[in-house]
Structure 1
Amino acid sequence: MADHLEASVTLPSDPASVAAARTYAVGTLAEWGLPSDTDTADTVRLIVSELATNAVQHTLGQSPTFRVDLVLDRHEQLRIGVTDSHPRFPRRLPAAVQQDNGRGMVIIRWLTAECGGRVTVRPTREGGKTVGVDLPWPVHTHPVTAPGLRQS
């Protein structure tokens, strides 16, 4: 494998983009050697779905687009990042509020911890934020170089 594989897509902050983000992520990982019918692919699908949903619902119209970045490094670490231009960081909501809304980050943190990964939130230079999830790449999966993907 090259030093790392990268892929990204920018989507409009629209509810229809959540499905597009999921499809993009799972399709890219399949090109990199992770079959879409694995537990890891299901986990990534749900994490991307929740991150994209948060980018659409919680930016209050202040982020017209969001970007999904995928990076697979030579240490067999997968980084998923969703960046929007809204400055507010995700926050934990009281349990009463979470009954109907606000569970996305709870789900993301739980799934990430279950896989042995970690969640980070970093500000961007432009004033927004990137919510990142680092996951171990399944050892039994050997990444391949897919046409059209940038490698470094």
Structure 2
Amino acid sequence: MADHQEASVTLPSDPVSVSTARRYVGDILTEWGLPADTDVADTVRLIVSELATNAVQHTLGLSPTFTVDVRLDRDESLRIGVTDSHPRYPKRLPAAVQQDNGRGMVIVRWLTAECGGRLMVCPTPEGGKTVWITLPWTVPVQS
């Protein structure tokens, strides 16, 4: 495997695209050597689901697409970014007990930190933003 890998997909800002993004990242990571049935793979798929959901739900229809970038530096880190064209940064919404929303970024921050990673939000030159997570990359040695 090469020392550096990159993959990306652009999807319509539609709820159906969330599962497509999750599957895409899962398939890429499997191709790069991370078995699909690991806790790390499950965690990454959940993070991607939350970030893609935010890109669809919270851009107020102003971002017709979102892009998922996956980058791997073999001995260093896995970076996943979700980019949309809406300038508003994600923020923590009050989560009422009876509501199903408002917890996405809390979940992403917690899972990322739990894995020893970090989360960043960066503006894009086009006026949107990318939410990046960076995680340590470790793949079980296959015999």
C-alpha distance in structure 2 between counterparts of 1:116 and 1:2, whole Å: 24
* Partners of 2:46 and 2:68 in 1: CA distance: 14
Does structure 2 conserve the Cα–Cα contact (< 8 Å) formed by 1:40 and 1:138? no
Residues 1:101 and 2:101 are matched in the alignment: yes
TM-superposition CA deviations, 1:71-124 (whole Å, max 9, x none) = 001433000000000000011223448943211100000000100000000000
Change (3 A) 1:45 1:31: same
Q: Does 1:20 find its partner at 2:56?
A: no
What SS does the aligned partner of 2:43 have? helix
Counterpart of 1:126? 126
Size of the aligned set, in residue pairs, is 142
RMSD (CA atoms): 1.7
Q: Which is further off, 92-101 or 39-48?
A: 92-101
The letter for the 1-side match of 2:116 is G
Distance 1:125 1:72, change over 3 A: same
SS in 2 for 1:33: coil
Matched with 1:6 is: 6
In structure 1, stretches of 5+ residues that fail to align are 143-152
Q: Is the 8 A contact 2:95 2:101 kept in 1?
A: no
d(CA) in 1 for partners of 2:124, 2:141: 32
Matched residues in 1 for 2:82 and 2:133: separation? 9
Matched, 1:38 2:38: yes
Q: Check the 8 A contact 1:81/1:132 in 2, yes or no.
A: yes
Aligned pairs (5 A) from 1:44-59: 44-59=44-59
Runs of at least 4 residues off by over 6 Å: none
Q: Distance in 1 between matches of 2:73 and 2:17?
A: 26
User: Does the residue aligned with 2:83 lie in a helix, a strand or coil?
Assistant: strand
Q: 1:59 to 1:141 in 2, by over 3 A?
A: farther
User: How far apart are 1:139 and its partner, in Å?
Assistant: 4.7
Tell whether the 8 Å contact from 2:95 to 2:103 is kept in structure 1 after alignment: no
